[in-house]
Structure 1
Amino acid sequence: MQRYLRRHVARESGHWIRQFMASCDPIAIAQLMRSNRGALLAFGEMLWARTLEPGVSRRRWPYRMDATEDGRSLWGHLVLRGVEADKRLLQLSPGEWQWLQYQASGAVIAAAWRRSMAIAVQSARNGIADWSVDEHPDPLPENWSARQGPAGLHFVNLMQDQFVDWARPRPDKAARRAQQQVRADERRQAMQSACTGPCLSWSPREEWHVAASWAPANGVFRLHRLLGFADERPLFWLFEADGGFVARLRDLRLQAWAESPQAAIHALRTCLRRHRAAYGPAVPARKPAAVEPAVLCDATVQDAAEHCQDLVRQAKEHSRFWEAAPGLVLAARAWLGKQSRDASHLPREGTRLRAKD
């Protein structure tokens, strides 16, 4: 089930969990979960993995690192409580007993998944992400029953609570292809909108000159990162035009033409370095993020905010995302509890969480 969740449900869980660990802010993590369904699923998968597997935070996060304890490698193992049934009530063969344990384990694991996703949804709705859950609660939530009848052994998994099946299958192939086509059209429209009007150009034939922006001759283009700059790696498009190849920066009106892709990329790197030497680095202006004004007129509110921010800063500096979770959650609750009663920044109770495509 873990492999299924990581491949088909929370496919980018590692990416989101790295963002959670870099933030260490319960309020910011909750806002991220409200705005992105992938982050919500990754948070639920993180809680679910910690519920079933002790030490998973050292084995999976950070990813692909040598996780050891006292010089020995860590191996993943599950802790499933509540699986054992009363053998006195059932006369089972070894094969039937093994089958019953398999079904009971599946019921416990599914119940833990429902519990973790409920915590994730509640954290996103309340505005405070709480990942300070018990790693292996005892007992795990479960609701199943077994009965031995004339036809054999029957297993019933009772699910009385209403639960959204977050682990539902992904859309079919036609829906995925349609979604990919929409994204490709959006990328093409953005590229065509940028490659219009005059542009500062450079080519081995004419060197520096101002010419009209080249556009892909066959409508095919690729987006790459331009290496060779220590401070940043600017993005550029590469496509065929005018009997050669054009490398065009995405965030700056600068393009280069050459007879081969490698020569076009080299020419773009050279002219960008010359442009920076003459005019300095050109950083594209970004729109400032809309920040809601915070009213901190009460001294106690100001103190609670500063205390919460200090804890977040300390957790980030010392990489204590897991250990500092209880203190961070309590500080965030104290901060929001001492603010004004205006809860306009939080979704209303019963509001459905929608992901931004």
Structure 2
Amino acid sequence: MTDLKPILIEIGTYYSRIGFVGDEEPTEIYRTKIFEVEKQYREIFYTKLQVEPSKYYLVILKDTGTDKAVLTYEADLLFNEFNLKACAFLNAQTAIIFAWAHGYSGLIFDIGYQKTVTVPIINGSPITNSANFSNTAGRAIEEYIIGDLIEQGLDRELILRNKDEIVEPLMKSHYFFSCDKEEFEFQKIETRKQSLSESFEITDAKEGTIKIIPPDPVLPEELLHQTKDSNDLSLLDCIIKVADNCFTQLTAEKLERIIICGGGGQVLGLRSRIISELFKTTDLQKYVHPKIPSFSSTLVRSKYRNFDLGIRVVPSEYSVNSSWLGGSIVFSLKHASNFYINRENYEKSGQSIDFCDRELANGIKLREI
């Protein structure tokens, strides 16, 4: 391998994260632009990172369920247009395990902008036939807030022109899902209620100064039960279905940890609602001990029958970086040199490429990871 640090890229539906393997945080996090894949890579290599890609190895993070044809298309592009040395595709949810679990296994609830991905990872490999997806995620909550503002009398075009100045601050510091007193976000919600702003101002490019009066801050429970169409699962149904299957079929002992992460899941109270639903509809139970608190800011203690199975809640400040950080950790390992495929081997394989899950699982089995 080259002495240059491999490049690590994750192009998400809301944010993109780019940087180098071994670093603790991305070189840059920015809003994903909607244009063709080749233009995205050209901007990343030549404008943002200012590197010559032909000198580098590249790691790309993609969600569980990404079609193999997508991986092949990007590999073709990278080898033919950028003359890349070698590349590897890592499952983003597997990467999260390395960032936030104490082992190689766990149940991931990754609530993104466009979709929610729920998948068990066992010994570094996603169990794809046990995974599920929901189209209810951060965008659905965003659309509800936009509808709320329109009902208040704001023009939709004005809202969309100033989305970062209106919708994003409201999601982060105004809106919340209600939760019960014993739930871990209850006190934060009570604190927020005391600090809500009656109004704030923005400067619109067309209309000048606009006064915004925030709507009622409580998000309806129905949002968590809505579906995009008849083939879709609601966010809670998606999570409960996968969790219940995992507990009964994979056995909880193999999971080690449940992890709730993703930028779309950072709306206050949402994670409490998910955990409450898990306790209500599965055999997962809250861990009760007279001397040990049942939760901290990042861990809700729980058990499945007689087995401790904590729920790790990724803090807001790390929610955007979780999978990128995990990818940086994985590919810093010595064994990771086995995960890459160069152009010669790619062509010998009939231009076939897949996630490096099998190689990763083998490294874990051999205790080289």
Larger radius of gyration: 1
Q: Structure 1 length as normaliser, TM-score?
A: 0.24
Q: Which has the higher contact order (CA 8 A, sep 6+)?
A: 2
